[in-house]
Structure 1
Amino acid sequence: MSTKGDKWGFQPEKSNVIVLDRPVAPLYRQLRLKVPSLASCFFCGGCSATCTASEEGMNFRVVHLLLCRGEMEKVGSLIAPCLLCGKCTLVCPRNVDTRSVVFNLKLALHELQ
């Protein structure tokens, strides 16, 4: 049986699909309460493109995706190089306070250790 993607020769990779029926991860829920602007992020990548720490592996888009999925084990190492400079917040077209998200995420992960 073919799916719509088969007609065009592509399908979304399983790893890129966010299952919206799954319950939201508790830490992600807490972050959205502390930084409500996080809900407006549409993964454009502007923050990642301007990030000074991106050469060290920091990628807010990936961090946000992992948070949505509840995959916390990789998040700590991804946000570690972040200097909290705030350039990501300045370039965000949706005014997501990405700096506050990363700051609160670092605090939460530190408390979990």
Structure 2
Amino acid sequence: MTEFLHAFMSGDIEHARLLASDEFSFQAPLQRGHGSRQSYFSGAAAKTRYVKAIRILQQWEDGTNVSTLYELVVRTPNGIAAMPVSEWHTVENGKVTSSFMVFDTGAVAAELMRDALASGH
């Protein structure tokens, strides 16, 4: 699971894609309902270019479920900030099949990212 998170957040989208199942789906604070594998990876390069670091604080595994609490550091032309993020993944046969992400959408880092993506920096 750590490999998937580090690959995705570092911008190695192709490696992360290899670690996700064809049926991969996700939920995230700015996503309505369940998103598809295609929608998860289609905007990844634009988003991850602002990620400067990921620090895993704690990770728990229980069968096919993996819960990770991490700090994400975001740097955009308007500043730098960190925010805590929690993700719950399901992993089956060595592939990530789902992701449920939680973070404070009002956090400074989230606002920096949202502004940068909206302005096309």
Work out whether the TM-score is over 0.5.
Answer: no
> Whose helix proportion is higher, 1 or 2?
1
Larger radius of gyration: 1
Structure with the higher strand share, 1 or 2: 2
Task: Give the alignment's TM-score, normalised by structure 1.
Answer: 0.33
> Which structure is richer in relative contact order (CA contacts within 8 A, separation 6 or more)?
1
